Amino acid sequence: MAQGFKITPWEVEGKIDYEKIFKMFGVQKFDENIKQKLKRKTGDLHLLFRRNVVFAHRDFEKALEKGFFLYTGRGPSGPMHIGHIIPFYLTKWLQEKFKVNVYIELTDDEKFLEPKRKLSFEETQKWTEENILDIISVGFDPDRTFIFKDTEYIRNMYPLALKVAKVINFSTVRAIFGFTNQTSIGMIFFPTLQIVPTFFEDKICLVPSSIDQDPYFRLQRDVAERLHRQRCATIYHKLLPGLLGIDCKMSSSKPETCVYLDEGEESIREKIYKYAFSGGQPTLELHRKLGGNPEIDVCFQWLYLFFEDDDKRIEEIEEEYRSGRMSTGELKEIAIQKITEFIREHRKKREKARKKVEKFMYKGKLAKKMWETVFE
Amino acid sequence: MAQGFKITPWEVEGKIDYEKIFKMFGVQKFDENIKQKLKRKTGDLHLLFRRNVVFAHRDFEKALEKGFFLYTGRGPSGPMHIGHIIPFYLTKWLQEKFKVNVYIELTDDEKFLEPKRKLSFEETQKWTEENILDIISVGFDPDRTFIFKDTEYIRNMYPLALKVAKVINFSTVRAIFGFTNQTSIGMIFFPTLQIVPTFFEDKICLVPSSIDQDPYFRLQRDVAERLHRQRCATIYHKLLPGLLGIDCKMSSSKPETCVYLDEGEESIREKIYKYAFSGGQPTLELHRKLGGNPEIDVCFQWLYLFFEDDDKRIEEIEEEYRSGRMSTGELKEIAIQKITEFIREHRKKREKARKKVEKFMYKGKLAKKMWETVFE
């Protein structure tokens, strides 16, 4: 924690200083110039780009120039909250714009192995099924998307996994992931399987992800050189802040920090009122006089970072709130309405998702081809 | 090498002192008492038991009492020689006597990962195919035998492999296998997959094997306790000495030390005459006077340990040779005849083996069931 925060794939601690990340991880800033390059190809930009939620990248320009396929994933350790779904919306938008294949890995093996989770194998399987329904609800192209879980797709990945594993030694994973002599040999091997899908196509693999997964992709880029394969590109998005404050993490295991994708409407309202950290003043009178602070207001941040797509509207809300004309209660109502709407839509799509599982996992055009392919 | 020899699954160095092994590895002597117990069940004893080629065990008596299934394997790193086929004959005999299932694992993953081998993945696949034909030629029951290679059967083993891997840490495999920080994460994970088949049935798994594989089964017994599953039993056979002398190892990569299972008849004759270390005297005159020493004569040892099943005949040969009445040349001729006969028979069976691959690997009664089973 020399930097005041710690980021590994299994732990995010302290307040993330996004500026420091550029130095620590050696990633590039996703700047105005790159946004414009992207916009020239896509015509418009998704909110997550416009509002700088996507803040860092590796080789994104190269991927834009040379063409890419998309790969992202999910560790199925519990119910998904609204923060978890962000990289999937990012991925879906890119798929629509570039008409490329998307590979979505469910790392059920990792979540079973991770010691602090204490999940039984059966539990990881249940969460895998549940999470897949949430992911499908995002609306990927069923013929250009392959959703798979490691324990099932392993036969098709294993020969290539061996090639990856052969060029990584214990010293390396100890340095990158902080493994120790007490780490299980399952966890030690696992990074291999997060790397393999970056080689699914002979194009640049572009990975939309949160920054905590960067260690895998740093390692991927070394491995790629050694195997004479393509180094992956990445884009990293900021995490949605937890309800308790903008420096507080959203966590599935702490209901007071997040809104789940299957959260009931009453519960959403209650959580926002009870927990959402406010940038407003202690009394309405003071608020009218001094105004609210949208920078630290979680409801405003959620709207800004994800839920309010309309740029004019979000500016309006910001101004109104900052001036004090809009009260915290009014801002919360706006947030509740937007989130509730999102969750309601999600629920509708999720009800239809079960029928689509077969297609995304086995029978869609891409899925079918993937089951016929063994990667070596 | 504190003991003057070193035994790991990847290295056997120095002269093996079988007496020291009991202390080092903590295995039990396969003594007269156990032989008699076995004989009471089987009616007779295979040469490998009668002549004490099987010299050590773990829990064999328990396996005899409670019932067992059989598991053995092969690392497909090159052509098989006559030493490699011994555990398979042992296994086949036990299958016939006890009418139990046999599982035969081809560790193509291990042989690709093993750094000193420098085998490409394609080479491991070629040797896997070739070795399977040799193994099938031994004559296993096609409906009670399942032959599989790790890279192909992995999907069915992986969930259970995770459970095994979760309870083994780096410290443990470092101590047992001598792994270091430079060991690849593939090799570090691999022991998991040699352990999984010991849990294929809810009976005691009996493993006929050479002693160098004991580290895996020591580890298996710890893992079994932690997972509340059955500890395996093992029987260990001595290695056939190499042609160059009874303390010399037979090695596939050194043609002068071994006879391959596809060795031509002329080549067998030439090798035996040229390389087989003799226990005879420098001149025929001295030999007639002083006699030969069967203990250090490789031809005699090969006949004794495997090729001459007839107890009366082997005693006769021993007496004749020891007395000097039988010359080294005559002994070599007997060995050549026996080995050539064995190889000729093997070749005939191997020609028919290709048609049986499908059955042993996919379509036989046991194989079919195994492909329908995912082990968790």
Tell me, what DSSP letter sits at residue A232? P
Do A236 and A12 contact (CB within 8 A), yes or no? no
Q: How many angstroms separate the CA of residue A9 from the nearest CA in chain B?
A: 18
Do B231 and B50 contact (CB within 8 A), yes or no? no
Average pLDDT across chain B, whole number:
95
Helix (H) or strand (E) holding A132: helix A121-136
Helix (H, G, I), strand (E, B) or coil at A90: helix
Q: In angstroms, rounded to a whole number, what is the distance separating the alpha carbons of residues B7 and B239?
A: 12
- Closest partner residue to B159 (CB to CB) among A151, A171, A180 is A151
Average pLDDT across chain A, whole number:
95
Tell me, what DSSP letter sits at residue A203? S
Q: Give the model's pLDDT for residue A4.
A: 66
Query: Tens of pLDDT along B208-222?
Result: 999 999 999 999 999
Q: Which residues of B touch A177 (CB under 8 A)?
A: none
Tell me, what DSSP letter sits at residue A325? S
Do B256 and B275 contact (CB within 8 A), yes or no? yes
Q: Give the model's pLDDT for residue B11.
A: 74
Do B277 and B256 contact (CB within 8 A), yes or no? no
Do A273 and A265 contact (CB within 8 A), yes or no? no
Sorting pLDDT into bands at 50, 70 and 90, what band is B2? very low
Do A236 and A54 contact (CB within 8 A), yes or no? yes
Q: Which of A52-56, A317-321, B249-253 is predicted with the least confidence, judged by mean pLDDT? A: B249-253
Q: Give me A44's structure tokens.
A: 């418009």
Of A375, A11, A25, A19, the closest CA to residue A201 belongs to A375
Q: Which residues of B149-176 are buried (b: 16+ CB within 10 A; e: fewer)?
A: bbbbbbbbbbbbbbbbbbbbbbebbbeb
Q: How far is CA A18 from CA A21, A26, A30, B108, in A?
A: 5, 12, 12, 45
Of A158, A167, A170, the closest CA to residue B177 belongs to A170
Query: Tens of pLDDT along A119-128?
Result: 999 999 999 9
Query: Tens of pLDDT along A198-212?
Result: 999 999 999 999 999
Helix (H, G, I), strand (E, B) or coil at A204: strand
Q: Give the model's pLDDT for residue A23.
A: 83
Closest residue on chain A to B110 (Cα): A162
Residue B122 has pLDDT above 70, yes or no: yes
Q: Give the model's pLDDT for residue A307.
A: 98
Q: Give the model's pLDDT for residue B1.
A: 40
- Closest partner residue to A162 (CB to CB) among B165, B173, B186 is B186
Q: Stretch B100-123: mean pLDDT, rounded?
A: 96
Q: In angstroms, rounded to a whole number, what is the distance separating the alpha carbons of residues A140 and A147?
A: 10
Residue with tokens 């490329």: A100
Q: Phi and psi (nearest 5°) for A17?
A: -100, 100
Q: Stretch A257-280: mean pLDDT, rounded?
A: 97
Closest residue on chain A to B180 (Cα): A170
Q: Which residue segments constitute the domains of chain B, with CATH numbers given?
A: 5-239 (3.40.50.620), 247-351 (1.10.240.10)
Q: Stretch B120-138: mean pLDDT, rounded?
A: 98
Closest residue on chain B to A173 (Cα): B185
Closest residue on chain A to B173 (Cα): A185
ipTM summary value: 0.94
Contact A109 B162 (CB under 8 A): yes
Q: Which residues of B touch A181 (CB under 8 A)?
A: 169-171, 174
Contact A181 B189 (CB under 8 A): no
HSE-up of residue A118 (Cα within 13 Å, Cβ side)? 2
Q: In angstroms, rounded to a whole number, what is the distance separating the alpha carbons of residues B133 and A315?
A: 74
Helix (H) or strand (E) holding A114: none
Residues in a beta bridge with B6: B13
Q: Give the model's pLDDT for residue A24.
A: 82
Contact A189 B186 (CB under 8 A): yes
Q: Stretch B45-70: mean pLDDT, rounded?
A: 97
Residue with tokens 């052509």: B79
Of A230, A233, A189, A190, the closest CA to residue A208 belongs to A233
Q: Give the model's pLDDT for residue A317.
A: 98
Q: How many angstroms separate the CA of residue B216 from the nearest CA in chain A?
A: 14
For chains A and B, count residue pairs whose Cβ atoms are closer than 8 Å: 117
Q: Give the model's pLDDT for residue A2.
A: 46
Q: Give the model's pLDDT for residue B4.
A: 66
Helix (H, G, I), strand (E, B) or coil at A228: coil
Q: Stretch A23-45: mean pLDDT, rounded?
A: 94
Query: Tens of pLDDT along B233-249?
Result: 999 999 999 999 998 98
Interface contact B191, partner A, CB < 8 A: yes
Residue B3 has pLDDT above 70, yes or no: no
Sorting pLDDT into bands at 50, 70 and 90, what band is B302? very high
Q: Give the model's pLDDT for residue B19.
A: 81
Q: Stretch B305-319: mean pLDDT, rounded?
A: 98
Query: Above pLDDT 70, what percent of chain A?
Result: 98
Q: How far is CA B227 from CA B62, B151, B199, B223, B234, in A?
A: 20, 24, 10, 6, 19
Of A200, A154, A231, A113, the closest CA to residue B109 belongs to A154
Q: Stretch A243-252: mean pLDDT, rounded?
A: 92
Residue B359 has pLDDT above 50, yes or no: yes
Tell me, what DSSP letter sits at residue A184? B
- Closest partner residue to A166 (CB to CB) among B113, B152, B153 is B113
Sorting pLDDT into bands at 50, 70 and 90, what band is B20? confident
If DSSP states are collapsed to H, E and C, what string results for chain B?
Answer: CCCCEEEECCEEEECCCHHHHHHHHCCEECCHHHHHHHHHHHCCCCHHHHCCCEEEEECHHHHHHHCEEEEEEECCCCCCECCCCHHHHHHHHHHHHHCCCEEEEECHHHHHHCHHHCCCHHHHHHHHHHHHHHHHCCCCCCCCEEEEEHHHHHHHHHHHHHHHHHCCEHHHHHHHHCCCCCCEHHHHHCHHHHHHHHHCCCCEEEEEEEHHHHHHHHHHHHHHHHHCCCCCEEEEECCCEECCEEEEECCCCCHHHCCECCCCHHHHHHHHHHHCCCCCCCCHHHHHHHCCCHHHCHHHHHHHHHHCCCHHHHHHHHHHHHHCCCCHHHHHHHHHHHHHHHHHHHHHHHHHHHHHHHHHHHHCHHHHHHHCCCCC
For chain B positions 145-184, those within 8 Å of chain A (CB to CB) are: 150-155, 158-159, 161-163, 165-171, 173-174, 179-184
For chain B positions 104-133, those within 8 Å of chain A (CB to CB) are: 109, 112-113, 115, 121
Sorting pLDDT into bands at 50, 70 and 90, what band is B10? confident
Q: In angstroms, rounded to a whole number, what is the distance separating the alpha carbons of residues A200 and A260?
A: 32
